[in-house]
Structure 1
Amino acid sequence: MSSTRITMRATRATLGASVLALTLLATSACGPDNSSGDTTATGAATNAPDLGLPANLADLKKWSFDDWEKWAKDYALPAVAKGYWNLDRMLSAQPAGQVKPSAPQPSTAPAQSAQPTTAVPKPSTAQTPGGAPTQPGDTGSDPAPQTVTAQAVPHPYAKNMAVFGKIFFDQPGGESLAPGKLGQHYVCSGTVVADPAHPGKSNLVWTAGHCAHQGKGSTFNSNIVFIPDFNSSGAVTGGKRPTDPSQYAPYGEWDAVNYVTSPVWKAEGGGPVGPAAQYDFAILRVKPENDGGKSLEETIGGAVPVWFNAPRDQLAVTNYGYPAAPPFDGMELNHCEGGKPSRYSLDPARPPMLAIGCSMTGGSSGGGWLATKDGKPALVSNVSVGFEGEPKYQTGPYLDSVAAGLFDFIAKKG
């Protein structure tokens, strides 16, 4: 896994515990056992028969709670051994993400091409509400955004920054490696999101799909833990090694006990960056390593609502994350003022990703992209793919009705 980045536009509103009223997916649909339905092809899911996916992605938007439950057979995660994530393991963790070497050349290649397009060959701007092209010649991608230099959040972090944190995990098979060996431990970023089924008491963390599951032919990551407000005090800044975990993990460690990621990511993800990145998101349900009886949201004092199907022309995005690949070291929370996102597509039949300028590197994968909705911050995406070279920018999935259905499932599942 390489690196991906995060950017969100600084909002003056305080991050609070307010919950966005979500429209829950309740339409009857053909699910994993019966995939007949919409005839409009929106990108076939590779390896669908093995995972029980519908014949086309449009049908995923119709799945009911029961359909999601039939599909999510590996919803539960093995317990993380108490004390597993000590500071030595955390510091040895490698940045996780997906990376492209530099700004790709403009292309008019077919949608399924693994080569990203960075320019629309014709000035056609007609789009669906989700940003998908509706006229010939529009590839679903806009010109690449200009580089935005990431800025470190000053210590100590403000109270509303506690919704951001680091995610540590082992890739499948990593447990068999010698302790501390490179390739065993990895790190991403995540954001505490409001749970509509448990108002004010959320235990949900939003991140990238590749931070939870390795994609096609693989399985979920193991020993996943979330540390909100990591290094808020600056205790591990500049190579310092405190012995008291509360100095770098002020709210403790939160073990992932359940997770969901998009069916598209499970069926197609992993390997070279491809169209699966357009559905590269996941949600973790966590519990405290040392249970004090309070939820994550109650413990840190807030959570961010998720804004699904957000109108692109209303978005001004800022992202936050913990970049760990050079020139960063993973110890500092950074953000990028990305502004209005452009479109980025690897398959025009799927919702184009959001793209913003940002110089963050690997380790920021999964970090939240925030925009303002009704005067308050809301999560609209997460870092999926990062581009090195010039310009430096990141892309994140557009959270459509598939993401809303997945979120509804894990919220209700409890």
Structure 2
Amino acid sequence: MRSTRTSAPLRRGRRTVLTATGLVAVLALTATACGGSEEDKASDKPDAGTSQAADSDGGKVRIPSDIADKLKEHGIDADQWKNGGWEDWDKDKWLREAKDFVNPVIEGLWKPERMRSAEEADKTVTTKDASAAQGVSDPEPAPVEAQAEKTPYHENAAPVGKVFFDSPDGPSVCSGTVIKDVNHPGKSNLVWTAGHCVHAGGNGGWYRNLVFVPAYNDLGKSEAELGNANASEIAPYGNWWADWASTSNGWIQGGSETGGDGAAYDYAVLHVKPEQGSKSLEETVGAALDVDFSAPSAAEAGDMGAWGYPAAPPYNGLQMFKCLDAPGRFSLSPGLPTMYRIGCTMTGGSSGGGWFRVLDGKTVLVSNTSIGPTDNTWLAGPQLGRDAEALYQNMSKTYGGQ
């Protein structure tokens, strides 16, 4: 697909901001973290039949037997991995291991300064073929200027956070949202983000050292104010390592650095566990959102809001922003599923951030930021239907209780 205009995920433009007061009011979720019980600690125990992140045990990596065997199959020594072996990005080997997500905990890896060094995940740069989309896409929306979220974030957008990971190009960053686990009410360890924030698509494999940080920089401090910030200021609820990640086959097979045929399937779910602690993510943060898998049409969906941490200029990734708009239809090709599109000036780094709408009086996640143009005037995100729900259900039933 060639086009007269390049587009990149999470960068957008400017338009008149809608007064979606209902959406903003409902999203303002105050964290009310609950105390954990002994029963809660069971979720920290690795199951030998599942893929879990490694635990820290006396300074050594402790990995369930199935993952230890998988690492050995790929010639990976757990201790070497922890001590820097994960930085070996042999391209051929990476491709062969694309089906295997292995993410051992490396305690202390994601320090505040390393998080600040992470660059936006610009893996969904895509070209917009206007002629191919005629009759499928609605007219391009007017830009909507992104608005800074009020602080502290845990009182105004508690489920939102940042997703950090390592790619062959170095530390990278996206955004993500704490979602409810229908099979484990009140104790969710699930995070929604974009597929390109966990997997490189058709030309690569799974990224490494995936961590979710809810309410990152909770008080919205400036770069100067964070010069000597400690870990609790940057990550008030700690670091949550993904012990499993799932994204769509559509993204794995069709996703590319130019978005490709995988853009409409650019979503992912993480199951996470705390680097330290025993309570679930939902209990710790005090909030989580349901996911709307009804895939309403753009005309039926009503107003939507996109939340995230834009990191590419003019933003620096330290503060949370949001855009509110009425969605339109967008497609890269008549043969691909229709996506949602809203006006928004957020840039790279907001990728994976949740899109929310009000359904039956409560805020639900309806999409996530995937792609957008290089002039940062709009964002597009996938419609979440049966395939997305099946991916979510499988993650919940298979790994949710761990």
Q: What's the CA shift for 1:251? A: 0.5
1:89-138 deviations in whole A, cap 9, x for unaligned?
11111101356589x5731x3xxxxxxx3xx4xxxxxxxxxxxxxxxxx3
Q: Which residue of 1 aligns with 2:111?
A: 86
Q: Which residue of 2 aligns with 1:157?
A: 153
Q: Pick from 374, 398, 401: which aligns with 1:413?
A: 398
Amino acid at match of 2:25: R
Report the count of equivalent residues: 318
Do the aligned partners of 2:9 and 2:369 also contact (CA within 8 Å) in 1?
no
Q: What's the CA shift for 1:382? A: 0.4
**3-state SS of paired residue (1:285):** strand
**Separation of aligned partners in 1, 2:105 and 2:333:** 37
Q: Pick from 308, 314, 322: which aligns with 2:309?
A: 322
**3-state SS of paired residue (2:256):** coil
1:160-181 deviations in whole A, cap 9, x for unaligned?
412100111011xx3xxxxxxx
**Separation of aligned partners in 2, 1:289 and 1:234:** 23
Q: 2:35 matched to 1:11?
A: no
Q: 2:357 matched to 1:371?
A: yes
Do the aligned partners of 1:212 and 1:220 also contact (CA within 8 Å) in 2?
yes
Describe how 1:155-304 pairs up with structure 2 within 5 A: 155-171=151-167, 174=168, 183-238=169-224, 240-291=226-277, 293-304=278-289
Q: What's the CA shift for 1:88? A: 1.8
**Separation of aligned partners in 2, 1:148 and 1:235:** 24
**Separation of aligned partners in 2, 1:2 and 1:105:** 13
Amino acid at match of 2:188: S
Amino acid at match of 2:259: V
**Separation of aligned partners in 1, 2:327 and 2:304:** 7
Q: What's the CA shift for 1:373? A: 0.6
Unaligned runs of 5+ in 2: 1-6, 32-96
Do the aligned partners of 2:301 and 2:327 also contact (CA within 8 Å) in 1?
no
Q: Which residue of 2 aligns with 1:36?
A: none
TM-score, length-normalised on structure 1? 0.72
**Separation of aligned partners in 2, 1:359 and 1:243:** 28
Do the aligned partners of 2:294 and 2:385 also contact (CA within 8 Å) in 1?
yes
**3-state SS of paired residue (1:106):** coil
Q: Which residue of 2 aligns with 1:95?
A: 120
Q: Which residue of 1 aligns with 2:144?
A: 148
**Separation of aligned partners in 2, 1:403 and 1:153:** 28
Do the aligned partners of 2:9 and 2:380 also contact (CA within 8 Å) in 1?
no
**3-state SS of paired residue (2:24):** coil
**Separation of aligned partners in 2, 1:244 and 1:215:** 35
Q: Which residue of 2 aligns with 1:52?
A: none
**CA 1:314–1:243 in structure 2 vs 1: closer, same or farther (change >3 Å)?**
closer
**Separation of aligned partners in 1, 2:303 and 2:385:** 18
TM-score, length-normalised on structure 2? 0.74
How high is the sequence identity, in percent, across the aligned residues? 42
